Structures are given as C-alpha cells and as structure tokens.
Chain A
C-alpha cells in the first residue's frame, strides 16, 4: 500500500469517530484537510454522514401517552407524600 492509500485507509477508519463527535481536537484539522481534498474519502464521508443523519431524523419516534405520564406522576406524588 503506498503512502496515499495508507492515509486514506486511516482516514476512512476515523470517519465514525469524527461524525460521533469523538475525535480529539488536534486530529480534526488533519482529518478534514484530507477529506476535503480526497474525492474517494469525501464520498465515503458523505455516505456515512447521510446514513447517520437518516437514522437520527427519519427513524420513527414514539411519544409517551398522556395517561402514562399522569399515572407515573401520581404514583411518584404519593410516594413523596409518604415522606
């Protein structure tokens, strides 16, 4: 593997870390510098980013029903009243 491919391999491996907000401050500029100038890595980055966004935004979110909210709050209130 030549040096360029080696860098790409490392960068692609770090994409989830960056997208999850887990990359260290000093690594970020190096990472972004490569991604912005390497079309193969950029494409992979965009795919991962889109996937993560899709899961976050498009996954159906369930909300709790009012009855349960009241039931829980009542139970806790009663327990608090007991002291």
Chain B
C-alpha cells in the first residue's frame, strides 16, 4: 500500500528507517527549520562561523539520532533541543561570558515573583512602539545567554512553556520565572537607551 520500507533490527525493538524515509523526514520535517535554527545559533553564539558550525552539527546529530525521532511530531522542538545541547556542551566555552550565570545575583535584582517591579514595568508604550529593532537586538544580546535563550524560544520562535521546558530541561515554573526576569532585564536596557535619547520614562 505505501512505499515505506522498514528494516527490523535484531538489537532493538524499534524499527529502523530506510534511507528513503530518512531523506523524506529531512526534506519535509527538518530542513524547513534551518533558518530558524541559524538565527537561534547566531543569537546564542553572536558569531557567524560558530552559528554555521552549530547548525551543521545539529543536522548531523539529527541524522545520527533520527531513529529516536517520531515522524510528524514536533520536529522544530526536537531540533532546537539538539542545538541547545550542542551549544551548552561545545560552544559555551568559547564565549566571553562566564560559563555559569550568577543566578543569585540576578535574583536579588530581579525578583521573579514581583509583578510590580516598577522600575522596569512602567515604561511608556510609545517607547516600545517606536523603539528601533537595533535597540531591541542590542538589549537581547546584552543579557546573559541563559536568559537570552529563553526569550528567543518564547518570543522569537513561539514555543509553548511546555516545549521550552523540554528543550532546555527545566521545570515549567522555572521557564515562567526565567522568562519574567529576562524580559525585565531587556526592559531595563531599553529604558537606559530611551533615557539617553530623551524619551520620558516614568517611575511608579
């Protein structure tokens, strides 16, 4: 009925895909996400060559682990997870940032439970509406990579909390609080810029 050719392997209970099926998975499910993966890789490494390497490594790993991928499930999240792990394992050493973010210090300044963190929340709407993409990009690049990562996944790529939880490997509650902190950090940066440009910035 179908042209699916599956070979049973004796060592494993799961079925191995034929090269034809693998090629189809790559063409239909994996390659369409290359731009998004490159963008993600670039935002993480802030280096074009590193981003290229990261994308390539992600697809090679996707090939290596393709039998663990269930067809027509969430390919994007699966690939992003591979890239995030590659980044943590291989590339983080290269970046100029310290390997471990000082979460305690960050927590002191950005209390994740305080919805009324007034210094950052009360920016005028026109600041964000009129702000240049340049400043948003700069603000994003300036925050520590663990926070940048989560903003990328949420606001740029539109993953759900649950998907992010699986991609990063943290509980959903942590996704929420880290996202909250990351956004507050970005708003602070943008606020600094806005002030320097003469925008009126309210403090509650």
- Mark A residues whose CB is within 8 Å of B: 9, 12-13, 15-17, 20-22, 43-44, 46-47, 50-52, 54-65, 68-69, 71-73, 75-77, 79-81, 83
| B125 and A58 contacting across the interface, CB-CB below 8 Å | no
- How many B residues, CB 8 Å from partner? 48
Query: Interface SS of chain B: helix, strand, loop or mixed?
Result: helix
| B161 and A64 contacting across the interface, CB-CB below 8 Å | no
| B123 and A47 contacting across the interface, CB-CB below 8 Å | yes
Please, what's the 1-or-0 string for B150-189, where 1 marks a CB less than 8 Å from any CB in chain A? 0100111010110000000000000010011001001100
Contact of A50 with B128 at beta-carbon distance under 8 Å, contacts A16-B179, A68-B56, A69-B34 already known: yes
Stretch from B35-43, B70-78, B88-96 forming part of the interface with A: B35-43
Number of interchain pairs (Cβ within 8 Å): 108
Query: Interface SS of chain A: helix, strand, loop or mixed?
Result: helix
Starting from the known contacts A64-B34, A64-B52, A68-B52, 14 additional A-B residue pairs (CB-CB under 8 Å) come to: A15-B115, A16-B179, A22-B160, A51-B123, A52-B155, A54-B131, A56-B158, A58-B133, A60-B133, A61-B156, A68-B38, A69-B34, A79-B63, A80-B19
B59 / chain A contacts, CB cutoff of 8 Å: 72, 75-76
B121 at the interface (CB under 8 A from A): yes
Please, what's the 1-or-0 string for B134-160, where 1 marks a CB less than 8 Å from any CB in chain A? 101100100000000001001110101
- Name the 3 nearest CB pairs between A and B, nearest first: A58-B133, A64-B38, A13-B115
| A21 and B160 contacting across the interface, CB-CB below 8 Å | yes
| B136 and A50 contacting across the interface, CB-CB below 8 Å | no
> CB < 8 Å: which of B123, B176, B186 contacts A55?
B186
> CB < 8 Å: which of A9, A47, A54, A80 contacts B115?
A9
| B39 and A61 contacting across the interface, CB-CB below 8 Å | yes
B60 at the interface (CB under 8 A from A): yes
B186 / chain A contacts, CB cutoff of 8 Å: 55
> CB < 8 Å: which of B116, B140, B154 contacts A20?
B154
B198 / chain A contacts, CB cutoff of 8 Å: none
Complex formed: what's the CA distance from A62 to B44 in Å?
A: 12
Task: For B30, give the chain A residue with the smallest CB separation.
Answer: A76
